[in-house]
Chain A
């Protein structure tokens, strides 16, 4: 084992369901959890004589993702039929794109743990229609629900540039953020809006010789965790298999495996070979797409600053930690609210704390995203400024923000109404501190004697002052006065 080294090679195929209202080639409404087989029509049922018509929005969404992934957008694309014999697509073919995909030769930047980014090349991205759902659980037959059949699906294929499961997972998360930023997919994993198919193999160096293990494609993973774990399992399995059998990559020995989430293992589904013969040919029912000029420019106009770029900018421009920048940029609407509030005069770090520690907590409790709480950027900025100036403390800010959401009033008004303005008047606080010291001689003694008890006693005294002021004393000033009096 000592002279064995190996490198992991992973390429990803990702299917993203676009959030168009209707299907790719017919006007059936896309829905989730509807009555089975209620959202179908002659086109998605593959009835003779029916004709597909392209959904313009789906093409635009797909192009937008292609642009965000730095791809070359084809000015001419067409549709092909991919032979497919499962009852979840009743036409016996899937409409897809074969030799002229919508987008090619791009890349996606993937953040690494060391703060650097890695460019993963994108081979292509093309549009196709989704299949329906087969349900295998009951009896000696299968059930088919075709509601999903024909839904617009974007297939994104990367080059095998990934070298471990973590990179694959990070890419998947980054892509989820991107499609959400572009508002082209809800990318809800629970609803199967993103599905992953990693191709995994190893390059093994043993006793000075190089071996490549056969490529395995893991089918239809629908969570980040399954993506990561199935790859890790597959790496171990391929290594074991190689050591036991010496089996190496040959023409046609690529195989397909499924992920058994319960047992946490991959299971052989088929040796690919000739099953891979999809016999693509141009679909005569659909005319080509020509993409240029104003239409393409209009689509480009919908691009926005992408999450990773935004995150990096927040670190350099606003001096936020990478973690904070990541939290703020995870959702576009949160980032936009943050930026508006900064423009309105909030200090970035203070505002960041307000949003991440209070705002996102409240959003979480309400089961919504921050932007949906109806917070006004101007008010948010005011609130940050009030903390900055010491007019209110953090717990008051929490209270005020809750009221801002409920009443839409501005924070100054609310702070006054709720009597939450901090006492910062030194003369007044001086008196209250003096009183507290008189009443707690033992604690004063403990502070003065130093040692272990000192810190605790000081905290106790601050607490007493807070009690007397009903939590409204400015703790910084109280602390300053205490130090002066006790030293």
Chain B
């Protein structure tokens, strides 16, 4: 059977995940990921015709909380673990791509 995942795809996934991989790592991960995918291919043999897609592994739903405010951490504590901060803000490398924002 051919490789389930090629080097190109590994490079693409790495790029999307903001990971920098060396040539050796790409080779290594391509092999490993291929093996994993091949293993999972076994699942394809199962008859899932009557099985509903599973959204969550626990058989529960509707776990809510009421809309009541609780104490937040506060600025000082929030920034305590940050590698860098600038006044009350987290300080991060300049964001060049302006298309952030959900």
Complex CA–CA separation, A70 to B86 (angstroms): 47
Say whether A375 faces chain B, with CB atoms less than 8 Å apart.
no
B56-70 contacts to A, CB under 8 A, are 56-58, 60-70
25 chain-A/chain-B pairs, Cβ below 8 angstroms: A28-B70, A36-B75, A36-B88, A37-B78, A38-B75, A38-B78, A39-B72, A42-B73, A59-B64, A83-B16, A83-B17, A85-B18, A100-B55, A131-B102, A136-B98, A138-B86, A142-B93, A143-B91, A143-B92, A153-B102, A219-B98, A270-B97, A277-B16, A279-B16, A289-B61
Given contacts A56-B67, A78-B55, whether A258 and B99 have CB atoms under 8 Å apart is yes
CA–CA, A85 and B101, complex, Å:
10
Q: How far is the CB of A58 from chain B (nearest CB, A)?
A: 7
Q: Does A199 contact B (CB under 8 A)?
A: no
**Alpha-carbon separation in the docked complex, A76 to B70 (Å):** 29
Cross-chain contact B67 with A58 (CB below 8 angstroms): yes
Q: CB < 8 Å: which of B58, B72, B91, B99 contacts A29?
A: B72
- Let me know if A287 and B62 touch, CB within 8 A: yes
Closest residue on chain A to residue B58 by CB atoms: A287
Task: Give the total of B residues in contact with A, Cβ under 8 Å.
Answer: 42
List of B residues within 8 angstroms of A131 by Cβ:
100-102
Please report which residues of chain B, range 21-68, place their CB below 8 angstroms from some CB of chain A when the two chains form the complex: 55-58, 60-68
Query: Of residues 275 to 329 in A, which have CB atoms within 8 Å of B's CB atoms?
Result: 277, 279, 282, 284, 286-290
> A22-B67, A141-B84, A144-B91 known; 10 other A-B pairs, CB under 8 Å?
A29-B72, A38-B78, A54-B63, A86-B101, A128-B102, A134-B100, A144-B89, A144-B90, A220-B101, A269-B99
What is the minimal beta-carbon distance from A425 to any residue of chain B, in angstroms?
61
Give the B-binding residues of A (Cβ under 8 A).
15, 20-22, 27-29, 35-42, 45, 53-59, 76, 78, 83-89, 94, 96, 100, 128-131, 134-136, 138, 140-146, 153, 195, 219-220, 256, 258, 269-270, 274, 277, 279, 282, 284, 286-290
Interchain CA distance A319-B60 in the complex, whole Å: 54
C-alpha spacing A40/B67, complex, angstroms = 16
Residue of B nearest to A149 (CB): B102
Q: How far is the CA of A76 from the CA of B55 in the complex (A)?
A: 10
Residue of chain A at shortest CB distance from B65: A53
B55 in contact with A282 (CB, 8 Å) = yes
CB pair B61–A36 under 8 Å, yes or no, is no
Which residue from chain A places its CB closest to the CB of B55 in the assembled complex?
A: A78
Instruction: Give the docked Cα–Cα distance between A89 and B87 (Å).
Output: 19
B81 to chain A, nearest CB (A): 9
Structural contact, A41 and B73, CB atoms closer than 8 A: yes
Q: Is the CB of A53 within 8 A of B63?
A: yes
Interfacial chain B residues near A274, Cβ < 8 Å: 12, 16
CB neighbours of B62 from chain A (8 A) = 287-290
Nearest chain B CB to A156 CB, angstrom units: 14
Contact B102 A134, beta carbon cutoff 8 Å: no
Nearest A residue to B54 via CB reads: A282
Residues of B within 8 A of A129 (CB): 102
Name, among A22, A138, A219, A287, the residue most crowded by chain B CB atoms within 10 Å (CB to CB): A287
Chain B residue at minimum C-beta to C-beta distance from A30: B69
- Identify which of B69, B79, B89, B92 contacts A27 (C-beta below 8 A): B69
Q: Are B70 and A27 in contact (CB under 8 A)?
A: yes
Q: How far is the CA of A189 from the CA of B74 in the complex (A)?
A: 27
Partner of B75, one of A37, A86, A88: A37
Tell me the complex Cα distance, A209–B84, Å.
Answer: 58
Complex: chain B residue closest to A57, CB-CB = B67
CB distance from A61 to the nearest CB of B (A): 10
Complex Cα distance, B1 from A84, in Å, reads 34
Contacting residues, chain B, for A41 (C-beta < 8 A): 70, 72-73
Is B2 part of the contact surface with A, judged by Cβ < 8 Å?
A: no
Docked Cα-Cα span, A57 to B69, in Å, equals: 12
Q: Which residues of A contact B91 (CB under 8 A)?
A: 141-144
Among candidates A15, A37, A86, A289, residue contacting B100 with C-beta atoms closer than 8 Å: A86
Contact, CB under 8 Å: A56 / B90: no
Taking a contact as CB atoms under 8 Å apart, the answer to whether A146 and B78 are in contact is yes
B41–chain A nearest beta-carbon distance, Å = 19
7 closest cross-chain pairs (CB), A and B = A143-B89, A27-B70, A86-B100, A56-B64, A29-B69, A57-B67, A36-B88
> Does A53 contact B79, Cβ atoms closer than 8 Å?
no
Residues of A within 8 A of B74 (CB): 38
**Bound CA–CA A279/B70 (angstroms):** 33
With A78-B56, A287-B58, A287-B63 already in contact, the answer to whether A22 and B92 are too (CB < 8 A) is no
Let me know if A256 and B99 touch, CB within 8 A. Answer: yes
Q: Taking CB as reference atom, which chain A residue is nearest B102?
A: A131
- B90 near A21 (CB under 8 angstroms)? no
Residues from chain B with a CB closer than 8 A to the CB of A153 are 102
Contact B95 A142 (CB under 8 A): yes
* Contact A55 B90, beta carbon cutoff 8 Å: no
Contact between chains at B55 and A87 (CB < 8 Å): no
| Interface residue from B61, B68, B79, B93 paired with A37 (Cβ < 8 Å) | B79
| Closest-CB distance, A284 to chain B (whole angstroms) | 7
Asked if A55 and B64 make an inter-chain contact with CB atoms under 8 angstroms apart, the answer reads yes
A224 vs chain B, min Cβ distance (A): 19
Residues B78 and A45 in contact, CB atoms below 8 Å apart: yes
Chain A nearest Cβ from B96, distance in angstroms = 9
Is A288 in contact with B56, judged by CB distance below 8 angstroms? Answer: yes
Pick from B72, B84, B92: contact of A38, CB below 8 A. Answer: B72
